[in-house]
Amino acid sequence: MATELDDYAIHQIVENMELVEGRNPRWVDELWFHIGTTDGSLSVAGHMGVYPPTATMDAAASVAYGGKQYDVRFGRRVDGDRDRREVGGISAEIVDPFRAWRFTLEPADGQAVSFDLEFRSEFQPMEVATPVQHRRDGRQVIWDLYQYSQVGTASGSVTIEGEEIAVDGAIGARERSWGVRPVFGQVPHLGRPPSSIGSRSFWIAATNGPRAGWGWRIEPEGDHPSATGSLSDDTGRARVDGCMVGQHDEGDPLRISGADLDLQYEMDGKRLKGGSVAFLDWEGGTHGLNLKPLTTIYAKGLGYGHSDFRHIEYKDGVSQTETHDTTDVAVVASLLDNDSGHINPFAIEHFCEITAGDQTGYGVVRLSI
């Protein structure tokens, strides 16, 4: 049926605004953010997704502080109001497109955390050069996704177990993405899910000096993981995308054409201990970054790989809250375990100190399991 959004001249397919092209049940429209304090004491991450084929919107927030991770998740039905960015106590407001967003988690009984944060960016959005596309056997669409990211600063306050923490000058990243995502366990009988969408996924958005950068390298299972190519074929070549940008209206992005990773992991082989990445740009320049993780958020808290809160599934009225002791090895192992059937490209998020020569910056690294 037609909605109020259909009164606007914004259509791109011959359907009303409740429907999406192709009607693929794995079609998503999402936002994500992660901000951290530069002293490494606090990280806050959030996710909100709308899934038109299942008439569902969900949202989640995770806060890492004092050796604990606090998670809050909500779900609601979409009924002609997919432009209302509110789910339970979580809301996301566009204050100024590409320049300012406000992310809020309202306080509630039985909920240990709340926050009111404004994210501001002086940098251009960093778009993919081409959509992330991948098919298996030339038929089943696994991935057909467009996205852009921005790096910026955040201010506001976070309240944790009654303690209000002022946030000023925190740094982080936000992302918008839409299209078909590799979420298979949630859609029974859609097709045989792939055993993996890649042997390793490395995503980074950071600022270091007057520029911001974003890069994403995905290494599929195959015989040529060191050869750069596209996920849209079956040759096993790694996909690399990314760019470096200046401030708004400062010129075109400098595209990334290659990425060499030298990463060290903790004993579990999943969490980043440190390392470096060297990006090659289209003009032949090399940009080396050294990574030092300051805080960690386990994305299971945001619903990535969570067996009781799976993205896309219909979940009107759902409200969940959890607290995890992340100093406990067994608890961390459970947060790293993916028992949902969700093929998960983003399982661990690190807020990192990033150095290049004598310059120090900060950013977010997202890793697959």
Percent of the chain predicted with pLDDT > 90:
65
Which residue did the predictor score with more confidence, 238 or 24?
24
What distances in angstroms separate CA 154 from CA 100, 318, 330, one per listed residue? Answer: 9, 29, 33
Q: How far apart are CA 304 and CA 211, in angstroms?
A: 30
Extract the tokens encoding 269.
């082989």
User: In the chain, what are the domain boundaries?
Assistant: 4-367
Of 20, 73, 23, the closest CA to residue 48 belongs to 73
Mean predicted confidence (pLDDT) in 104-117: 98
Extract the tokens encoding 246.
């200046």
- Tens of pLDDT, residues 342-361: 665 568 999 999 999 899 99
The pLDDT confidence band at residue 284, using thresholds 50, 70 and 90, is: very high
Among the residues of the chain, which ranges form H helices? Answer: 329-336
The answer to whether 42 and 295 have CB atoms below 8 angstroms apart is yes
> Looking at 21-25, 126-130, 194-198, 243-247, which range is the least confident one?
194-198
Which residue did the predictor score with more confidence, 3 or 158?
158
- Tens of pLDDT, residues 86-110: 999 999 999 999 999 999 999 999 9
The answer to whether 154 and 187 have CB atoms below 8 angstroms apart is no
Q: How far apart are CA 237 and CA 230, in angstroms?
A: 6
Of 312, 287, 291, 278, the closest CA to residue 54 belongs to 312
pLDDT at 143 over 90: no
Using the structure block, give the residue that is written with the tokens 């759902």. Answer: 318
Of 146, 100, 144, the closest CA to residue 127 belongs to 146
- Tens of pLDDT, residues 300-333: 999 988 888 888 888 999 999 999 999 999 999 9
Of 21, 47, 121, 67, the closest CA to residue 306 belongs to 47
The pLDDT confidence band at residue 194, using thresholds 50, 70 and 90, is: low
Extract the tokens encoding 343.
């093929």
The sign of the torsion formed by the CA atoms of 220, 226, 227, 230 equals: positive
Average pLDDT, the chain: 88
Q: How far apart are CA 75 and CA 86, in angstroms?
A: 10
Stretch (H or E) spanning 257: strand 254-265
Q: How far apart are CA 182 and CA 164, in angstroms?
A: 38
230 three-class SS: coil
Q: Which residues contact 269 (CB under 8 A, 6 or more apart)?
A: none
Residue 363: per-residue pLDDT: 98
CATH topology for 4-367 is AttH-like fold (2.40.370)
In the chain, the N- to C-terminal Cα span, in Å, equals 41
The pLDDT confidence band at residue 196, using thresholds 50, 70 and 90, is: low
Which residues are 228's β-sheet partners? 238
Q: What is the largest CA-CA distance in the chain?
A: 58
Extract the tokens encoding 354.
């990033």
pLDDT at 72 over 90: yes
Q: How far apart are CA 175 and CA 209, in angstroms?
A: 21
- Tens of pLDDT, residues 264-273: 999 888 899 9
